[in-house]
Amino acid sequence: MMLEISRRALDAIRSHAASDPAREVCGLLFGSVQRIEAAEAVINVADNPARRFELDPAALFRAIRAERAGGPPLTGYYHSHPGGCASPSQEDVANAREDGKVWLITSAGQVTAWRLRAGAFEPVVMIES
């Protein structure tokens, strides 16, 4: 499977991660199954943001309500791995829900794409456009 991502969304994700390199940053992805149009930074409300992430539930609920009202579809999520690699960690696998959603993980400027299927992450080829 292939996934397109807008240059603007990819730049926003990299910029967000670079703005706080010691903590995991996170956010929401909007678009379709085939193309991510936008990324929105969200506050990481985890108890230890240097080692894990938790999306601000208020921001997540706002995005879901907006989608239901005809706004952009919530396609997935992104987060960073400071000092780690850009692949799902054991904690990511243990906490992931919502099969079919796209997950982008960034580390050291690299961004990788994954899709959750039956509780496991599958790599996705991502093309910037």
Catalytic residue among 4, 24, 54, 128: 24
- DSSP conformation letters of 30-58: EE-SSEEEEEEEE-B--SSTTT---B-HH
- Residue 102 CB: number of other CB atoms within 10 A? 22
Backbone angles phi, psi at 118, to 5 degrees: 50, 40
67 is catalytic: no
CA distance 81 to 64: 25
Residues 6+ apart with CB under 8 A from 127: 2, 3, 4, 5
CA distance 44 to 116: 21
| Catalytic machinery residues | 24
